[in-house]
Amino acid sequence: MKTIIAVLLCFVTSVSYCSGKTISDYKKIFGKDYDKATVYISKNQWINDSLKKENINPEFAVAIIFPELIRYSAIQDIIEVSALKTLYIQYGTKYSDFSIGHFQMKPSFAEKIEEIFSAKNKKTKFSKKNSPQSRLDRIKRLDSDVWQLRYLIMFIKIMDSRFANEIFINESEKLRFYATAYNCGFTKSAQEIKDRINLSFFSTVLIPVEDTERYCYPDISVFFFENGSD
């Protein structure tokens, strides 16, 4: 019955869900940066182990953030973020909201994850204060790969809860939805996320300009999910 419903949805939902478009060879496009991203995953087996303990498919979860691993490899942490961190700690995301670490998470992303997850899980305690100390603590968490993975796990659990009634024709289409939400904002409605699935906004360039090549974020996630490092 679910299969029949899923097939019918291909005719009534956004074209981005069942577009059947051909995905580019991102391993070839990103070259060494793609390879560096896969090496990071292979060298950090604890990531897969931690995801399995949470009953989360490691291949699926890693694919969500794989484009960010490519971007991190491309910029090689050349950004001097200390000033940006200071601005955030003192004044918050209105003055400074920037990508941090291998998973390229922003403070605003972590703030929203903490807010939603804390409301539903009493055992998880984050400071509700919007103070310099609470923001400093958040920056310290974002500077840690272990904590970035924890945020990713919380993100997936929030998505599973918020969109439990969504029907996907396969894991790749579900991944496309989750990856888009990770990239464009997981607090958006299902339709808002669907409307962004085929848009090309993602760039590995530090400061994109008008003619900078941009890519479809979920396409990269799906390519890695289906091809890996092969």
pLDDT digits (tens, 9 = 90+) for 125-181: 787 788 889 889 999 999 999 999 999 999 999 999 999 999 999 999 999 999 999
Residue 1: pLDDT over 70: no
Q: Are 92 and 130 in contact (CB under 8 A)?
A: yes
In order of 53, 58, 71, 146, 186, the CA distances from 50 in angstroms are 5, 9, 23, 9, 22
Residue 221 has pLDDT above 60, yes or no: yes
What 3-state DSSP class applies to 84? helix
- C-alpha–C-alpha distance, residues 167 and 141, integer Å: 34
Instruction: Please state the pTM of the whole predicted model.
Output: 0.84
**92 has a pLDDT exceeding 80:** yes
Given this model, what pLDDT does residue 12 score? 32
* pLDDT for res 5: 36
Q: How confident is the model at residue 77 (pLDDT cuts 50, 70, 90)?
A: low
- The answer to whether the beta carbons of residues 223 and 95 sit under 8 Å apart is no
Interatomic CA distance for residues 119 and 117, integer angstroms: 5
Q: Which residues contact 119 (CB under 8 A, 6 or more apart)?
A: none
- Residue 41 scores a pLDDT above 90: yes
Q: Tell me the three state secondary structure of residue 157.
A: helix
At 205 the pLDDT is 73
Highest mean pLDDT among 67-76, 134-143, 205-214: 134-143
Name the residue with tokens 């990531």: 47
Distance CA 222, CA 174 (A): 10
- For residue 85, how far is the Cα from the chain centroid? 21
The answer, yes or no, to whether residue 195 has pLDDT greater than 80, is yes
Residues 12-17, mean pLDDT to the nearest whole number = 34
The per-residue pLDDT for 173 is 97
Token pair for 80: 């001097």
Distance separating alpha carbons of residues 161 and 55, to the nearest angstrom: 15
Find the angle CA(157)-CA(162)-CA(164) to the nearest 5 degrees: 85
To the nearest whole number, what is the mean pLDDT of the chain? 85
> Quick check: 17 pLDDT over 80?
no
Q: Is the model's pLDDT at 214 over the cut of 80? A: yes
Per-residue burial over 93-108, b = 16 or more CB atoms within 10 Å of its CB, e = otherwise = beebebbbbbbbbbbb
Q: pLDDT: is 17 or 99 the higher one?
A: 99
The predicted pLDDT at position 13 comes to: 33
102: helix, coil or strand?
coil
Average pLDDT over residues 197-225: 87
Residue 210 clears pLDDT 50, i.e. is over it: yes
Q: Assess whether pLDDT exceeds 50 at residue 85.
A: yes
